[in-house]
Amino acid sequence: MTETKLCKFCKTEIPKDAKICPNCKKKQKGKLGIIICIIVILVIIGAATNGGNNKSISSDNSTKTESTDSNNSKAEEATIEYTSVSKQELSDALTSNALKASDTYKGQYLEVTGYLSVIDSSGKYISIDSGDDDFSFVNVQCFIKNDEQKAIIMEMNKGDAITIKGKCTDVGEFLGYSIDIDEVITN
């Protein structure tokens, strides 16, 4: 007498080693599928936790350094160079060709010079003006990331010369430029 099992779909008795049910013609899945699913889930969890790597970011007056520390043994360092640009240059680029301005500046690390035009009362952002173009529709909005930056800006006034180093996170013809501040330099 041969060993049998029930089809997982139609519940008909079929030979135990059958890979396809002779009655409903559906493929019988084995334990291999479950094992593969478990392995895939473990790989995804491992990738999501990034192997326990710690990241630390430090900055000085000219560069930003990002270090990845793996189990406190080796540290890789990459220096980020800032592209120096004035608020007026950003305005001109966006006004003449928004697509090109976005391609040129979005995702880039910029050192923007200009004049303080808006200081948000909640301390979340500031805006930079070119000084001689009071009616510009192009906004350079810079987002404050920490209390040290907030303290520097707290001592400034609208119209003061300022230089901001940071990453340009967005460029748009209506909202202008968005920059996450890495460093504030008073001029």
| Cα three-residue angle 64-70-72, rounded to 5 degrees | 90
Residue 55 pLDDT > 70: no
118 φ, ψ (degrees, to nearest 5): -135, 135
Q: Per the domain annotation, does 78 fall within a domain?
A: no
| Cα three-residue angle 148-78-44, rounded to 5 degrees | 95
**15 and 101 share a domain?**
no
The reported pLDDT for the residue numbered 132 is 67
The reported pLDDT for the residue numbered 70 is 44
**175 and 91 share a domain?**
yes
User: Rounded to two decimals, what is the model's pTM?
Assistant: 0.56
Q: Per the domain annotation, does 59 fall within a domain?
A: no
Q: Per the domain annotation, does 60 fall within a domain?
A: no
Q: Per the domain annotation, does 8 fall within a domain?
A: yes
- The count of domains in the chain is 2
Q: Distance (Å, rounded) from C-alpha 40 to C-alpha 36?
A: 6
Q: Per the domain annotation, does 63 fall within a domain?
A: no
Residue 139: other Cβ atoms inside 10 A? 20
pLDDT per residue as tens digits for the range 89-102: 998 898 899 899 99
**180 and 89 share a domain?**
yes
Residue type, 129: D
Structural domain containing residue 159: 83-186
**177 and 122 share a domain?**
yes
* Distance (Å) of CA 187 to CA 10, 114, 115, 156, 183: 79, 10, 10, 11, 13
**23 and 89 share a domain?**
no
Residue 77 pLDDT > 70: no
Q: Per the domain annotation, does 123 fall within a domain?
A: yes
What CATH number corresponds to the domain at position 155? 2.40.50.140
Of 169, 183, 173, which Cα lies nearest the Cα of 107?
Answer: 169
Which residues are within 8 A (CB) of 4 and not within 5 positions of it... i.e. 6 or more apart?
13, 14, 15, 16
Q: Per the domain annotation, does 10 fall within a domain?
A: yes
92 φ, ψ (degrees, to nearest 5): -60, -40
**34 and 102 share a domain?**
no
The reported pLDDT for the residue numbered 146 is 93
The reported pLDDT for the residue numbered 69 is 45
HSE toward the beta carbon, residue 106, CA cutoff 13 A:
12
The reported pLDDT for the residue numbered 25 is 87
Q: What is the largest CA-CA distance in the chain?
A: 97
pLDDT per residue as tens digits for the range 105-136: 999 999 999 898 889 888 899 988 887 655 66
Q: Per the domain annotation, does 11 fall within a domain?
A: yes
**92 and 180 share a domain?**
yes
Which SS3 state, helix, strand or coil, does residue 154 take? helix
Q: Distance (Å, rounded) from C-alpha 59 to C-alpha 50?
A: 24
**24 and 113 share a domain?**
no
